[in-house]
A and B are shown apart, each in its own frame.
Chain A
């Protein structure tokens, strides 16, 4: 599992999870999960175009991801946001399908772009992937407070003098970069899970903003490591494990919200939160819940 040819995957995925856990945290707080679904799909034709033309896939993915950012930003002018983004998704997916059909690429190449590939990171991509991930993490940490206030209460942030549009561009830009970087490994359809599931579970585990942020990153790491290991042993696609483990993580850790108890729910929740801060390794997801 830790053979030489697997090392780039382990290293790249670990760096990717840092960035995905960090930007995913703000994705969930901002309730921008739809954008997190839209950007991978808009990046997809970029990957396909790279296969067709032979350019660096990273350039194609990034270019189309940023195109997606522009569309997401402008979509509210076209009508209801979900409607506009929904149509955008389909059109980008369609474009990607066309480009791939033009390449006559092997089915596995298509499959890898959509669902991820354990060996999706060649050696030469390792350094850029690590650098980009660290950059995203650093920018996120350095803008933590303005982003947090702007994401949690946009009106209050405006009063504090925080530029609303600037923050939105910053957030979507970082999201696009993470998307484009993670896509070759995790796959178009499952970048979403990597972004959203650890962050959503982390919010459940701690009411403390910085702790929830760190837990989000830790859970993202746990998610990709488990998925790589399982994918290696089973030879099933990496994306399958990211998608299902992410959903399991979310349901188990947020399960309490699905089963409302008749009384004392607030007291119970706050007690749970305080006791979870300490012992809560990412493995505590198997607790019985009521």
Chain B
């Protein structure tokens, strides 16, 4: 699977400096800095419209940036495209589509090649490895459109992995998944990082399901970001600065709930207490 060769230790895999993006006259991202080494799982957390997808598209080179730089393994975005795998949001396949999981994964390698569509042996070996990496062997020969959402998600991840990227971007992979699929997908992301040395950047509007595997966090509000470990970022002072108004951070059984400050109380970190109702684990934004 993905090559575990690491870049020079001084050189991060992904380096973003002072990134600014404007869309239709609106500043979608502003002054964003982010540096990711190999083998890091980073969450990109923010509400709808916070600029998460725009950031991913900028890293993919699909988005014109207004200011700043993005470097991948020391090179420019366009040249390093093969280093990046991308799992877009809401991929849904038509139930009648004559395409099996195996075919989609193989197309990750062969899809851009014109010529006689014979099966190549090297495609098959890589396809098999990618299917194994995401645990998709048992539905490899099923029609994509008849798989569950979680299985389709895994198929698309394998499609991205088969090109052996070093950085994997996932856009809201946990949206529309049930609890069990969410847990197993989060575990899968952890495995890809720990065992295959991949760097993963995953967007979510709720950070909680990702907490068990998260190394780093980018908290996006209105195009501006706070970056660091969970403990460094998910704090009332940091987030209040980001939101521009006081917020409270509730912590309960290792989960967080970020709320606008109650008018009568200060925005301070409170620890789990019996007086707090259990936070709803998957707050839909």
Contact = CB atoms under 8 A, between A and B. Distances in A.
A209 B99 contact: yes
A149 to B, nearest CB: 4
Contacts of B111: 145-146, 148-149, 156-157, 160, 162
A142 B115 contact: yes
A77 interface: no
Contact of A153 (B91, B100, B113): B91
Contact of A204 (B81, B96, B104): B96
B62 A158 contact: yes
B117 interface: yes
Interface in A207-248: 207-213
B98 A156 contact: no
A203 B98 contact: yes
Given A160-B108, A207-B99, A270 B159 contact: no
Contact of A210 (B86, B97, B115, B117): B117
A1 B110 CA distance: 46
A161 B107 CA distance: 12
Given A29-B98, A145-B113, A152-B99, A207 B107 contact: no
Contacts, number: 91
Given A142-B115, A145-B111, A146-B111, A159 B103 contact: no
B41 interface: no
Interface string B131-166: 000000000011100100000000010011000000
A161 B114 contact: no
A193 interface: no
Given A159-B86, A161-B81, A152 B104 contact: yes
Contacts of B103: 208-209
Contacts of B108: 156, 160
A12 to B, nearest CB: 26
A155 B93 CA distance: 12
A207 B116 CA distance: 20
A141 interface: yes
Nearest to B144: A152
A266 to B, nearest CB: 6
A269 interface: yes
B232 to A, nearest CB: 32
A202 interface: yes
Contacts of B156: 153, 156
Interface in A128-166: 141-146, 148-149, 152-153, 155-162
A206 interface: yes
Contact of B142 (A200, A203, A207, A210): A207
B86 A203 contact: no
B112 interface: yes
B178 to A, nearest CB: 18
A153 B159 CA distance: 11
A211 B97 CA distance: 13
A148 B146 contact: no
Interface in B184-221: none
B88 interface: yes
Contacts of A142: 114-116
Nearest to B111: A149
A123 interface: no
A146 B112 contact: yes
A133 to B, nearest CB: 19
B60 interface: yes
Interface in B207-244: none
Interface string A170-187: 000000000000000000
A202 B98 contact: yes
B94 interface: yes
Nearest to B84: A159
Nearest to B107: A149
A81 interface: no
Contact of B143 (A156, A161, A207, A210): A207
A23 to B, nearest CB: 15
A161 B146 contact: no
B142 A270 contact: yes
A155 to B, nearest CB: 5
B145 to A, nearest CB: 9
B117 A145 contact: yes
Contacts of A273: 143
Nearest to A265: B146
A200 B95 CA distance: 12
B112 A162 contact: yes
Nearest to A199: B98
A145 B107 contact: yes
A20 B114 CA distance: 21
A266 B108 CA distance: 26
A147 to B, nearest CB: 9
5 contacts: A149-B107, A152-B104, A160-B111, A204-B96, A207-B143
Given A145-B117, A157-B111, A207-B99, 6 more contacts: A145-B107, A146-B112, A149-B111, A156-B108, A156-B159, A206-B98
**Cβ-closest 4 pairs across A and B:** A212-B98, A149-B111, A144-B117, A207-B143
